[in-house]
Amino acid sequence: MTFLTSDLRNDYPALRFSSPSGNPLTYLDSAATALKPQIVIDAVTDALGRYSAGIHRSVHFLGDESTERFEATRLSVARWLGAQEHEIIFTRNTTESLSYVAQGWPDDRRIIVSATDHHSCILAWDIGKTTIVPPLPDGSMDEESIVKEISKGDVGIVAVSHLSNVTGMSPDVRALATAVHSHGAILVLDAAQSAPHGPLDVAELDCDFLAFSGHKLGAPAGVGVLYGRAGHLRRLQPINRGGGSVETVAGVQSTWKSVPWRFESGSPAIESVFGLQAILEYLWDIDTEMIASHLASLRSYALDRVYSIPGVRVLGSLDSKSKGPLSFVIEGQSSHVLARSLSDAYGICVRSGFHCTQPLHDASRCAPSLRLSFYVYSQPEEIDRTVDALKRLVRASPR
């Protein structure tokens, strides 16, 4: 196992403060939202102070500077995804990015999704045309059944999560893309959980659209990304119409701007976009291969430690290749009560609930679960602290 140095924790102001219990903060809820390093906070402050001007439309030097930096972020995101600059659209979050495709893609055929996916990747689509494929018994995506469903025909879109926000498991995206494209459909990837693990290669993944949220990486909330193949973006219909998305308006007639700006109507979250550029540059500086190794090692370490808790049941496969969050239930224990107790007594923040994946929990016949999720600032001793606290809570719980 390989871990990043704990010195990185000094970059995150939230980790300097004690919890209400007086204990140091142990933050294992990064799959929900990542903590923000000082470099991101500084970028936002700088945007509010120095770059407080409208982009693209202001005919003065402040507008010029803001526009230049805004478009530089687009280039940084393109680098993170192995895409072209004009293939990147800024949105509010992953949910909105998926909705852009769901509402703007000109195809009336069926949609296929997996019950392992986040609610946003299920609810975005026309429910009357959507087939939800149940998971395998271990909670993983049933890729074989998805391919069989595609082969039945009349499928326009297949949308799946690149990395599960519950089990940490990932499908064979390239094989899935081959099956999707061979039947004339497109593949949409929800990369909300995979984007923080390091740069992605959309060409290697062979996906048609990909979505993620900046706050999962450590950017501020309010900025998301939609990648689309250049040819597909020219076919995609804008769903948010207003200032900034058109070249001319004459009565009811309008002329759209070129891609990608036709999809970015209204005033964007400029400060959040600048924060996204800051976190991407920060992650590049750390060493992205080390980040991926660190996160995989943390999950493997956590899996080993969690199994020392009596009555534990882990959701998903025990495959060591899983690299995302780790979710589990403990027999006879309420996950909500355990999470509240970890917070109040020990200053430990974990997630409890369905994690916006109730169909997966229902199919697995599983109650709301506890979830541990990690990021660059996480360390093995935090996992030890959490597991030890859980053991104490379970021992003290009335049976």
The tally of domains found in the chain comes to 2
**267 vs 362, higher pLDDT:** 362
Q: Is the pLDDT of residue 186 over 80?
A: yes
Look-up of token digits 């939609």: 226
Q: Is the pLDDT of residue 320 over 90?
A: no
Is 35 a member of any domain?
no
Is 1 a member of any domain?
no
- Select from 231, 250, 284 the last residue of a domain: 284
pLDDT, tens digit, 9 for 90 and up, residues 119-169 = 999 999 999 999 999 999 888 899 999 999 999 999 999 999 999 999 999
Regarding whether 316 and 207 lie in a shared domain, the answer is no
- Select from 260, 284, 308 the last residue of a domain: 284
pLDDT, tens digit, 9 for 90 and up, residues 244-302 = 666 667 666 777 667 787 888 878 889 999 999 999 999 999 999 999 999 999 999 99
Q: Residue 247 in contact with residue 298, Cβ under 8 Å?
A: no
- The average pLDDT across 96-102 equals 96
Regarding whether 303 and 159 lie in a shared domain, the answer is no
Active-site residue identified among 121, 207, 349, 356: 356
Is 130 a member of any domain?
yes
Instruction: Output DSSP code: residue 214.
Output: G
- The average pLDDT across 291-316 equals 95
Alpha-helix residue ranges (DSSP H) falling in 142-257: 143-151, 173-182, 202-205, 230-235
Residue 116 in tokens? 């392992």
What is the pLDDT at residue 233? 96
Regarding whether 254 and 358 lie in a shared domain, the answer is no
Instruction: Answer whether the bond into residue 325 is a cis peptide, omega within 30°.
Output: no
Regarding whether 226 and 307 lie in a shared domain, the answer is no
Regarding whether 341 and 258 lie in a shared domain, the answer is no
What is the pLDDT at residue 145? 97
Cβ contacts of 72 within 8 Å, gap of 6 or more: 277
Question: Is residue 356 annotated as a catalytic residue, yes or no?
Answer: yes
Write out the residue range of the structural domain in which residue 311 sits.
Answer: 6-30+288-396
Is 363 a member of any domain?
yes
pLDDT more than 90, % of the chain? 79
Residue 275 in tokens? 């924060």
Q: Is the pLDDT of residue 321 over 70?
A: no
- Select from 269, 284, 299 the last residue of a domain: 284
Instruction: Output DSSP code: residue 239.
Output: S
H/E run at residue 349: strand 348-349
Average pLDDT over the chain reads 92
Is 192 a member of any domain?
yes
* Side-chain half-sphere exposure of 72, counting CA atoms within 13 A: 12
Q: What is the CATH number of the domain that holds 331?
A: 3.90.1150.10
Is 164 a member of any domain?
yes
Q: What is the CATH number of the domain that holds 109?
A: 3.40.640.10
Residue 340 in tokens? 């509240």
Regarding whether 305 and 251 lie in a shared domain, the answer is no
Regarding whether 55 and 186 lie in a shared domain, the answer is yes
Is 370 a member of any domain?
yes
Is 238 a member of any domain?
yes
Q: Is the pLDDT of residue 100 over 70?
A: yes
What is the pLDDT at residue 244? 67
What is the pLDDT at residue 374? 97
Q: Is the pLDDT of residue 78 over 70?
A: yes
Judged by DSSP in three states, 328 sits in strand
pTM over cut 0.75: yes
Regarding whether 360 and 263 lie in a shared domain, the answer is no
Instruction: Answer whether the bond into residue 260 is a cis peptide, omega within 30°.
Output: yes
Regarding whether 320 and 275 lie in a shared domain, the answer is no
Residue 377 in tokens? 């600032």
Regarding whether 144 and 13 lie in a shared domain, the answer is no
What is the pLDDT at residue 239? 84
Other Cβ atoms less than 10 A from the Cβ of 72: the count is: 14
Regarding whether 127 and 88 lie in a shared domain, the answer is yes
* Side-chain half-sphere exposure of 42, counting CA atoms within 13 A: 9
At 18, the pLDDT band (50, 70, 90 cuts) reads confident
Regarding whether 316 and 274 lie in a shared domain, the answer is no
